[in-house]
Copies of this chain bind each other. A is one copy, B any other.
């Protein structure tokens, strides 16, 4: 081969890339998420990574975060040629486009999950990614969607985080109608709603006193009104009492929805320590119209919300005249995984998905080694055969480095007697086993 200039590979900032051990953890998480989505009857869809630019821009998002596509060289010797395509930056716009485009061929309520990478041209900084996994579920109705759907969403999330084992978590549930009603009670309506919600959104971060001051300074509330508003959203547990106290349609409607969600979560056996109604969370200032969710790790509040979503009136008004109310939630998996690994809540210990390494000590016995490995695989036990001519010690070192649970060793004597050595790598314990009983022996040791 001719001498060639070597291009030294560099990491791309903002584009995470795991080593196999971390990727195995991510794979496990993706499996748990998907299995639970399916357990609740969500069907998979996958949309292309690229959409037409006019689709992506239809909802009035900021263009500067979008990566556009061009052909590196459209014709021999020519420069880049523009296309009308760009990479999607979330899975909600593609869902809206998908439902509008395939409307006649879908059955409603349409329950879909979608687990894909999305791309955002953000300035790279710690914890921000330009390419990351989103795991979304949505239930979309035509013209109407029962509030029951709003109870199912957090029960799916509860099942997922419980199975992952990320420690104590809390799904906080609110309803935008209640918040808006409470603002209305203080005379805040129309254009002032969003800016006031933004002030309230800082409650957890800067505390009640500062928010009260901001409500007075920026939203024009009297100290008494600010205090009354904060008293209501911060710590109300008696929802019916609140609806009586603040007699406005928005409040009573929102409270009724929250009560329905609460009843649903109880009937679905979601443990009460994992969710709460919290009137202080605002989330999704422009988009959501009813229920809203966010989720935190109780022992790691600095990680922030790890999963959020809510109810919207109309999924796809930019793409179709059909009214499509829905409710959904999204897990930003890449960021979550990175933080869970950093915090030591999850650890990456093995770099192989296989549990058994079949060593090859004596090349003349290779046939028997391969045959033993085949038997284990046929029983569903992932088994690697060490392919290279190396000393047994080096093969066992490889098994240790990769994180195999068991190594099998076949010498001349064992082979002649129809036996094989089984070595547990963590303990170093070794036992002789009949080749005919290899599946049962390995299974028992792995359990």
Contacts and interface: CB of A to CB of B under 8 A. Distances in A.
A285 to B, nearest CB: 16
A176 interface: no
Contacts of A44: 20, 23-24, 27, 353
A258 B354 CA distance: 28
Given A53-B72, A71-B67, A76-B64, A20 B112 contact: yes
Nearest to A116: B117
Contacts of A248: none
A384 interface: yes
A165 interface: no
B112 A152 contact: no
A49 B117 contact: yes
A401 interface: yes
Interface in A399-420: 401-402
A7 to B, nearest CB: 5
A389 to B, nearest CB: 7
Interface in A77-109: 80, 82-83, 85-87, 97-98, 100-102, 105-107, 109
Contact of A49 (B131, B269, B402): B131
Interface in A294-308: none
A267 B53 CA distance: 54
B17 A48 contact: yes
Interface string A325-367: 0000000000000000000000000011110010000000011
A384 B148 CA distance: 12
Contacts of A382: 38-41
Given A43-B24, A73-B63, A387-B152, A58 B7 contact: yes
Contacts of A264: 366, 370
A1 B388 contact: no
Interface in A47-62: 47-55, 58
A149 B46 contact: no
Interface stretch (A8-16, A421-429, A438-446): A8-16
A12 B152 contact: no
A427 to B, nearest CB: 22
A42 B353 contact: yes
A256 interface: no
B67 A43 contact: no
Nearest to A41: B384
A19 B398 CA distance: 44
A142 to B, nearest CB: 10
Given A20-B45, A320-B6, A74 B64 contact: yes
Given A23-B43, A131-B48, A319 B387 contact: no
Contact of A64 (B51, B73, B269): B73
A348 B27 CA distance: 26
23 contacts: A7-B55, A7-B58, A7-B318, A8-B319, A10-B52, A12-B51, A12-B52, A19-B45, A23-B43, A23-B45, A26-B46, A38-B353, A39-B354, A43-B353, A49-B49, A50-B131, A63-B73, A67-B70, A71-B121, A109-B388, A111-B384, A149-B387, A263-B367
